[in-house]
């Protein structure tokens, strides 16, 4: 089933099941996906505006050029998505406890997002932008952060010995987040 250019507004998909199929250039506004199983569904060039996507199940879900705006995505296991042509963009979103383990997220933009306790272990975030994002207790382990932009990000802790940070961009005082591993005291 192919659904194109459709706007879904104020729909609770925990009550009204989203049919399996392909959704192309669709917009979802103020919709509730909390805990909904979206396994096997394809979203191409879709946007989710002011939606609750918390704990949504994404087993083999295809997210190609998908944009999330002003949405809540607590604990979403993005690593369970189909990785083929995965492309995401987040703006003004709460992504606490979300998992991006081993995903290729080159040039992904996170703008004004709460990424507290998110897991980016073994992900490829080459060229990613963390614009005004809170990364308190986010996990970066064996993560490729080359050319990533952390200049306006806050509360990150990145171990340069176990992550690739070549040509990544940082600002002062945020750059101290690269030294937390060493348990040293820094005074300004």
What secondary structure, in 3-state letters, does 163-180 show? CECCCCECCCCHHHHHCH
| Residue 82 contacts residue 58 (beta carbons within 8 Å) | no
What pLDDT was estimated at residue 145?
A: 98
For residue 132 the two structure tokens come to 């005004």
pTM of the model: 0.92
So what's the pLDDT on residue 101? Answer: 98
Q: Over 70: is that where the pLDDT of 176 sits? A: no
Q: What is the pLDDT of residues 51-62, one digit of tens each?
A: 999 999 999 999
Whats the size of the chain, residue-wise? 188
Can you list the domains of the chain with their CATH numbers?
1-93 (2.160.20.80), 100-188 (2.160.20.80)
C-alpha distances in angstroms, 99 versus 22, 32, 96, 132? 24, 20, 9, 20
Least Cα distance to 162 among 145, 147, 143, 135 occurs for: 143
């Amino acid at each position: 089933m192919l659904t194109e250019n459709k706007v879904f507004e104020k729909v609770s998909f925990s009550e009204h099941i989203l049919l399996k199929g392909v959704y192309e250039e669709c917009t979802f506004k103020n919709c509730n996906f909390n805990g909904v199983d979206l396994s096997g569904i394809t979203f191409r060039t879709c946007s989710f505006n002011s939606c609750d996507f918390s704990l949504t199940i994404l087993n083999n879900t295809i997210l190609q050029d998908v944009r999330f705006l002003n949405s809540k995505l607590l604990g979403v296991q993005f690593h369970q998505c189909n990785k083929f042509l995965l492309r995401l963009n987040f703006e003004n979103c709460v992504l606490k406890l979300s998992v991006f383990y081993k995903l290729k997220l080159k040039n992904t933009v996170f703008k004004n997002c709460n990424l507290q306790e998110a897991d980016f272990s073994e992900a490829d975030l080459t060229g990613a932008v963390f614009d005004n994002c809170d990364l308190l207790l986010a996990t970066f382990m064996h993560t490729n952060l080359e050319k990533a932009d952390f200049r306006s990000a806050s509360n990150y802790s990145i171990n340069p010995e176990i992550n690739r940070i070549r040509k990544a961009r940082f600002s002062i005082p945020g750059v101290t987040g690269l030294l937390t591993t060493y348990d040293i005291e820094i005074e300004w």
